[in-house]
Amino acid sequence: MAQASITRRELWSAACAACIFFACLLQFIVFSFGRDQSIYAVLGDGILHGKLPYRDLWDFKPPGIFFAYAFAQALFGTSMLAPRILEMLGLCLLGASFVFLAKRWFGSSLLGIWAAALTVFIHSQLDFWHTSQPETYGAILTALGLALAVHEENAKRPALHWIAIGLVFGLAGLMKPHLLAGGAVVAAYLATRQQQRQQEQQQRIRLNNLRHLLPILTIGTAALVPILLTGFWFWSKGAWAALKWTLFEFAPGYTALTYQNQSALRLFYAAIEEASFRFSAIVAVGLVLAFALAPQHRREREGVFVLLGVCMLHFAGIAMQSKFYQYHFSATLPFLSLIATLGFAKLWFTLKQPGRQRAAIFVVGISSLASMRVATNDVPLGYWARASERLRFLVSQSSYANREQLDAALYHVGGYNLRDNQQISRTVAQLSNPDDAIFVWGFEPAIYLFSKRASASRFIYNVPQRATWQGKEARSMLLGDLKRRPPKVIVVERHDIFPSVVGNALDSAASLEQFVELATLIRDGYSLAHQTERFDVYQKTQESASLAMPEPRFGQAR
């Protein structure tokens, strides 16, 4: 698979792959927010205004994604576009890393370009709901870490590369903890390579024999730096108790909803099966080809073993989460795509047909595989129609006159509807002043963004209060927040039912009936000002009923 020079055919192939890459990437410009992206944007904007995650604005994801959104909004402004720009730039970095890895491990830069195109093609199919998630940025950081590891072999100061690799995987661990484990695979890989170099140099004394452990020690130590600095930041700001309650008390209960009474090995196998066969027929067939066909490059097995090691640790993390949401796989799919692209490259060189016949076979075959399965099927219109509409909108050829019409057509799934959130946000803005606080009893944090109103509580959605675990303490905290800063407007949502998230089949309106204190506060201090199929909007009419209760504290006995 080694290349002596680049042919015209290869240039055309690279240009085709680049067109696919950027055509898929450009769609991100008009991706809207889903619920999760709205949460991250509220937290990111809060960080920029001096608020602390968990203490002042609450979500139970690790803090890395909040920092990513804060960074994006600091650079590009607070909008739905800001994190998408960061995501697009990050995917370009991932693509460059793949080109470098493919050249070193598989002897072909072209293979890396096609792997990047396949990655972004699948990622764009995950659509607005499952993109710009912690796993997205974790994949980008993992690809960068792998590229640094491969580049280390020619470095004059490998220790600097080890430190950089550790820092990168430490940041990935702030996105999702299991992504940190990829650094262990890279450290073991570099340690093995270091040992091989020592043996080649015939360094037999005891001290030199221990040098191969330096990559492991250095990478491991460096990986802890971002995590420890983040912990120190929370501690110095007085938010450590809030972080501890959220990540070590609330989050485990969320995971246990679907993990308990399940076999860990069965979940692990299910993660492998879904990642390999659920999202893309191209990946499924490519993986089979990669393992069935003989190696074409001397370093191929080396690269595949490292990529598989990273993926296996990812699968373990996915199994532990046990939810199997599509975005849980988005940190792993890029590396499976790289291996799958290798499989098709090996098939290309194995086929005996002339170049044009092979090209025809591949065009027909890949096109057929691409149409067999897409990563997400629950969005309106389907992927191909959605992709066409987005690209046509970007060149002013769409049947939709403006962005609002495009959003109304494309961005609703399940119980979520972007247009409903935008409309109710306008009502909230009309019923309140810019400096008024509001409160949403539901799972629509986008209302805070679109109405440009601050939350009266740290809880920007009500999953903690509706949860079958930790709910009593979360309700106490919420009531304390509302007592300190009574909201001018309260929005109550209906039809937001999430058994796998809260542990019951009640929507927010029904669960309010069981939350007597909040129901009393609304009844005594607010009047119904506006009503839609999904939302009741209450406006403050008098001082809310006094909530005689002790100040809630994290970790207090329940």
pLDDT reported for residue 88:
98
* Average per-residue pLDDT for the chain: 91
Residue at 502 is within a domain? yes
For residue 459, the cross-strand partners are 58
How is the beta sheet containing 526-531 ordered, strand by strand? 454-455, 437-441, 489-493, 535-540, 526-531
pLDDT reported for residue 558:
33
pLDDT tens-digit profile of 296-350? 999 999 999 999 999 999 999 999 999 999 999 999 999 999 999 999 999 998 9
pLDDT tens-digit profile of 261-297? 889 999 999 999 999 999 999 999 999 999 999 999 9
Q: What percent of the chain has pLDDT over 70?
A: 94
Q: Do 367 and 467 reside in the same domain of the chain?
A: no
* Range scoring the smallest mean pLDDT among 72-81, 182-191, 197-206, 214-223: 197-206
Q: Do 363 and 460 reside in the same domain of the chain?
A: no
Residue at 51 is within a domain? no
> In this structure, what token pair is assigned to residue 301?
């097995």
> What whole-number distance in Å separates Cα of residue 187 and Cα of residue 212?
10
> In this structure, what token pair is assigned to residue 84?
């998408």
Q: Do 105 and 222 reside in the same domain of the chain?
A: yes
Are 416 and 531 spatial neighbours (Cβ–Cβ below 8 Å)? no
Q: Do 228 and 329 reside in the same domain of the chain?
A: yes
Residue at 547 is within a domain? no
Segment 378-395 shows an average pLDDT of 93
pLDDT band at 557 (very low <50, low <70, confident <90, very high): very low
Q: Do 188 and 306 reside in the same domain of the chain?
A: yes
Residue at 364 is within a domain? yes
Based on the structure, what is the number of domains in the chain? Answer: 3
| Angle value at C-alpha 533, between 532 and 538, nearest 5 degrees | 40
> In this structure, what token pair is assigned to residue 384?
């191909």
pLDDT band at 355 (very low <50, low <70, confident <90, very high): confident
pLDDT reported for residue 385:
94
> In this structure, what token pair is assigned to residue 497?
């039912």
pLDDT band at 217 (very low <50, low <70, confident <90, very high): very high
Q: Do 193 and 286 reside in the same domain of the chain?
A: yes
Residue at 58 is within a domain? no
Q: What is the pTM of this model?
A: 0.92
Domain extent at residue 498: 418-540
Q: Do 314 and 437 reside in the same domain of the chain?
A: no
Residue at 548 is within a domain? no
Indicate if the pLDDT at residue 58 is higher than 90: yes
pLDDT tens-digit profile of 162-210? 999 999 999 999 999 999 999 999 999 999 888 777 676 655 444 455 6
Question: 307, 340, 372: which is the final residue of a domain?
Answer: 372
Distances in Å between the alpha carbon of 464 and those of 18, 185, 235, 257, 512?
A: 44, 36, 23, 14, 13
**CA 174 to centroid of chain Cα atoms:** 12
Task: Give SS3 for 382.
Answer: coil
Nearest to residue 483, comparing CAs of 548, 394, 433, 417? 548
